[in-house]
Chain A
Amino acid sequence: MWRILGQITGNGIRSEAAPEFSDELRLEGERIQHALLAILGQALTIRQVDAGSCNGCELEINALNNPYYNIEGLGIKFVASPRHADLLLVTGPVARNMELALRRTYDATPGPKLVVAVGDCGCDGGLFGESYASCGRVANVIPVDVAVAGCPPEPIEILRGILTAVRRCRAGSA
């Protein structure tokens, strides 16, 4: 136990002193947190749906949970059911074998039902395009609010996309 506590305290200090980009990210992170609270006034819940990605986008979405981005600290949480979600984070070109599952997930999500498509494939089908097995971009299957380009987009870009969708939703309802 002492070793664990020692590791935690040691690590906490190192993280504070982290050089170069972490300071920059921290500022960015704070801006996002303030904006999120100002716009939404509450925590944001996200359901991630992989509709056919190469799994690269999932790696970067997972990275949002690491201590650098600390997405839960910003008031954003990944949830286990679309029924608990404000926003769907969808990756991949939509494989035809996933088309039905994606539609059902969308139908099960309550309002405001925001959708952020992540990655070049989600934006335009990417290298996989449209074919007998791929429906191409996410917007070909369900309505998309924001599409985040990149292969895969870096975590901070995904975060920016999420925030943009929230902001647009607010602008739309006002």
Chain B
Amino acid sequence: MLISGFSLDGERLPSPLPIWRATVRAETWQVIARGVARENGRLLSLWASDRRRGAAGQLVVSAAYVVREGLLWIDLPLAERAATYPDLLPCFPAAGRLQRAAADLLGVVAEDAADRRPWLDHGAWPKGYLPLRRDASEKSLGAAREVTDYPFVRVEGDGVHEIPVGPVHAGIIEPGHFRFSVVGEKVLRLEQRLGYKHKGIERRFGELPPDEGYRLAGRVSGDSTVAYAWAWCMALESVAGCEIARRACWLRALLLERERVANHLGDLGALGNDAAFAFGLAQFSRLREDWLRLSKEAFGHRLLMDCIVPGGVASDVDRAVADRLARQCDTIERAVQVLRQVYDEHSGLQDRFMTTGRVLPELAARLGLSGLAGRASGQAADLRCDQPWAPYDQLAVNIATQTGGDVAARVAVRFDEIFESLRLIRAILSRLGESGGAVCTDLRLPARAAFGAGWVEGWRGEVFVVLEWDGESGAHVIRRCHCHDPSWQNWPVLEHAVIGNIVPDFPLINKSFNLSYAGHDL
């Protein structure tokens, strides 16, 4: 097959999005990385797996690239003894932490990587324990090491001091550590340490029955439960080679757009609040609550957890409920229009928003900023537009972009996306009225090994899930599941966004990205 100018030996996965998988050797691994980088492709994810089975099989490191034609999943089998592979960091800055995580979980190491500090391993599990290896045993787990000090990069100089923040934060926020090096109140450098929430999700997938996995996927990052459940189910359906009912596609998109609106409403309120405009929080949090309550009535869950299931969706929407959902779009739209005007005209608020936490398009492109934050920095990528899978192929989604790259731009993208999602929801509801039929199809998982992948544009950015299925000789298990959150790409960029800003603006900048700790730490 010929993808993005590369002639590769591989297969196209049965998936609603164009996804190819190919196995390569170390030289090709590097050639592809350089080629994708040259053609302005992006590194979506990097992970490793243990495909050993007795004497057969190997440790494998994999990379997923976004290219013009779709997604390219590259496997590189590793030699057992060395378990090293060529470093992707020179081509893709986002690779750094992904490679460090792969080293912690499977002991595969990027050759020549300069930064070999552990990332997810904080010293709470025994030294040398590699949780995703087949031979990892839990026997020695009682003997936890002393939690290790993390060697942060020190900034030296006259008047420089450090401010350590976290892991427990002063608010209702997820845990993580931020180390600021400051002069006066100006930030010279921010270094993050994440991984506090690592709770072994990827291994857990292999321990749960395959039909339970979607529930765990829906709890990788609770604010993106729909995006994860859809991506996970898409991956399982791709393993089974099954297509889902048309009506189920419409309902999945309805759920995904409702999740997007819910999160944007919450963020816009919180962003007002972080700029000392409590009015914004009161207004938007009320709208969000109205939105969640109708979600509960219509779908049975305020955050829409477990509404997407393998093969389709858990429940249908009847005419009466559809009418209420459409009417709510009108109400919310009117309210958000008023609030946008208030935000735009409020000079104190705009003063805090504009030029704060700026990532200019050139830097965003170089660092691989993605998703919502990427679109606010001129990176015009939205899977719903670039690879419109069903039902987005019939919705003609308008992408929202800004070039300012500051808090104001990320606020503007959220406003624009709310209006676009409300339009999409009304369009979906009108199409639902025209069609009937089943909303869930039975999945038949194959009695052989198979690969599957799911790729969905969640509210924060692209959510990506890969599955390795084992159906051979009576087995019926997921051998490997890897979930990728767009926060992996964007956390390191936040470190750049803060440089030169004042410490009190950090909460505002951080909120404007609103990245997931849970989705990153897994």
Whether a CB of chain B sits under 8 angstroms from the CB of A57 is yes
The contact string, 1 if C-beta is below 8 Å from chain B, for chain A 120-133, is 00000011110111
Q: Once the chains bind, are A65 and B285 in contact (CB under 8 Å)?
A: yes
Partner-contacting stretch, out of B63-71, B200-208, B321-329, B494-502? B200-208
Q: Once the chains bind, are A56 and B222 in contact (CB under 8 Å)?
A: yes
Q: Once the chains bind, are B219 and A98 in contact (CB under 8 Å)?
A: no
**A54-B285 contact in complex given A95-B197, A133-B131, C-beta closer than 8 Å:** no
The contact string, 1 if C-beta is below 8 Å from chain A, for chain B 208-226, is 1000100110011111010
The contact string, 1 if C-beta is below 8 Å from chain A, for chain B 266-297, is 10000000000001011101101100110010
Q: Once the chains bind, are B124 and A80 in contact (CB under 8 Å)?
A: no
Partner-contacting stretch, out of B28-36, B155-163, B165-173, B471-479? B165-173
Main secondary structure on chain A at its contact with chain B?
Answer: mixed
In Å, the complex CA distance between A52 and B276 comes to 29
Nearest CB on B from A133, distance (A): 4
Whether a CB of chain A sits under 8 angstroms from the CB of B338 is yes
Q: Once the chains bind, are B303 and A152 in contact (CB under 8 Å)?
A: yes
Q: Once the chains bind, are B173 and A133 in contact (CB under 8 Å)?
A: no
Q: Once the chains bind, are A55 and B198 in contact (CB under 8 Å)?
A: no
Nearest CB on A from B498, distance (A): 20
Whether a CB of chain B sits under 8 angstroms from the CB of A134 is yes
Closest Cβ neighbor of B302 among chain A residues: A154
Closest Cβ neighbor of B208 among chain A residues: A127
Whether a CB of chain B sits under 8 angstroms from the CB of A45 is no
Interface residues on A, range: 35 or more
In Å, the complex CA distance between A67 and B289 comes to 9
Whether a CB of chain A sits under 8 angstroms from the CB of B141 is yes
Whether a CB of chain A sits under 8 angstroms from the CB of B431 is no
In Å, the complex CA distance between A133 and B125 comes to 7
Q: Once the chains bind, are A133 and B198 in contact (CB under 8 Å)?
A: yes
Q: Which among A68, A81, A101, A129 is the interface contact of B204 at CB below 8 angstroms?
A: A129
A contact residues around B339 at 8 Å (CB): 7
Q: Once the chains bind, are A4 and B124 in contact (CB under 8 Å)?
A: no
A contact residues around B175 at 8 Å (CB): 49-52, 98, 101
Nearest CB on B from A49, distance (A): 6
Whether a CB of chain A sits under 8 angstroms from the CB of B305 is yes
Q: Once the chains bind, are A131 and B138 in contact (CB under 8 Å)?
A: yes
Q: Which among B136, B215, B283, B518 is the interface contact of A55 at CB below 8 angstroms?
A: B518
In Å, the complex CA distance between A68 and B283 comes to 11
12 contacts between A and B (CB under 8 A): A11-B283, A61-B172, A65-B281, A66-B288, A80-B171, A92-B197, A97-B122, A101-B167, A128-B199, A132-B129, A132-B138, A152-B222
B contact residues around A50 at 8 Å (CB): 168, 172-175, 197
**A55-B221 contact in complex given A63-B285, A78-B172, A97-B198, C-beta closer than 8 Å:** yes
Whether a CB of chain A sits under 8 angstroms from the CB of B147 is yes
Q: Once the chains bind, are B138 and A98 in contact (CB under 8 Å)?
A: no
Interface positions of A (Cβ within 8 A of B): 3-4, 7-8, 11, 15, 21, 48-63, 65-68, 78, 80-82, 92-93, 95-102, 105, 126-129, 131-134, 151-152, 154
Q: Once the chains bind, are A95 and B303 in contact (CB under 8 Å)?
A: no
Q: Which of B343-392 contact A (CB under 8 A)?
A: 345-346
Closest Cβ neighbor of A105 among chain B residues: B168
A contact residues around B172 at 8 Å (CB): 48, 50, 58, 61-62, 78
Q: A4-B346, A7-B283, A128-B216 are in contact. List 4 more A-B contacts (CB 8 A).
A: A54-B518, A127-B216, A132-B203, A134-B199
Whether a CB of chain A sits under 8 angstroms from the CB of B517 is yes
A contact residues around B141 at 8 Å (CB): 132
Nearest CB on B from A12, distance (A): 10
In Å, the complex CA distance between A114 and B146 comes to 28
**A95-B285 contact in complex given A7-B342, A56-B303, A101-B167, C-beta closer than 8 Å:** no
In Å, the complex CA distance between A125 and B341 comes to 45
Whether a CB of chain A sits under 8 angstroms from the CB of B196 is yes
